[in-house]
Amino acid sequence: MIALLNEVTWWHWVIFGVLLIVIEMSTGTFFMLTLGVSAILVGILDILFELSIQVEILLWLLFAIASVLVWMKWFKDHTVSNSGQSDYRLETLGTVTGEIHPHGRGKVTFDSPVLGNTQWHATAKTDIPKGTRVKIVEINGQLIEVAPVTENQTQQGA
């Protein structure tokens, strides 16, 4: 078996990589794609530098791990967190219509509907007087947590 491994050439890596990519086409997970591209890269390096089988396998493992980490870091979904019932943005601005005390309830009227309604009961971690501009920080079921916006945030939203 080990004698067979010494007979591995660059085109074996390329065929292995293409085979993994074909398998990926039937699964749709993108995991096999990274392994296939890594194998093709090892085949290309083997053409250029005539590597030993140990170095080839080590390079394939390193490329595979690196490509999976890159995929997880840069290509994952970066959507804004929401409650799943609407596609509103958490930065939605509103005006306090009923004073809010720390961890108490007050009322806020939002500039655009949030989950189909413009008026909501809201909580905050600080005192927020009536008439203050606020933005949504977090949604907890039917209760919205808000925070005051600064002058710069108000101008950017307008």
Pairing of strands 117-123, 143-148: parallel
Q: Where on the phi/psi map is residue 84: left (φ > 0), alpha (ψ -120 to 50), or beta?
A: left
Same domain, 102 and 132: yes
The reported pLDDT for the residue numbered 83 is: 47
Residues 65 and 100 in one domain: no
If you write DSSP's letter for every residue of 129-151 in order, what string do you get?
A: -TT-EEEEEEEETTEEEEEEPPH
Report how many domains make up the chain: 2
Query: How high is the pLDDT of residue 71?
Result: 83
Same domain, yes or no: 14 and 70: yes
Q: Which residues is 98 bridged to in the sheet?
A: 107
Q: Report the amino acid identity of residue 100.
A: I
Domain range spanning residue 43? 2-74
Q: What is the CATH number of the domain that holds 140?
A: 2.40.50.140
| 104 within some domain | yes
What integer pLDDT is reported at residue 138 of this predicted model?
Answer: 84
**Per-residue model confidence (pLDDT) at position 97:** 94
* Cα radius of gyration rounded to whole Å, the chain: 27
* Cβ 137 vs Cβ 93: under 8 Å: no
**CB contact at 8 A, 64 and 47:** no
Residue spans of alpha helices (H) in the chain: 2-5, 10-27, 31-49, 53-74, 151-157
Last residue of a domain, one of 74, 105, 123: 74
- Between CA 135 and CA 93 the distance in angstroms is 4
Residue segments in the chain with a per-residue pLDDT below the cut of 70? 1-3, 5, 76-89, 152-158
Q: What is the pLDDT, as a whole number, of residue 156?
A: 56
- Establish if 82 belongs to a structural domain: no
Tell me if 115 is assigned to some domain. Answer: yes
Residue 152 domain flag? yes
Whether pTM > 0.75 for this model: the answer is: no
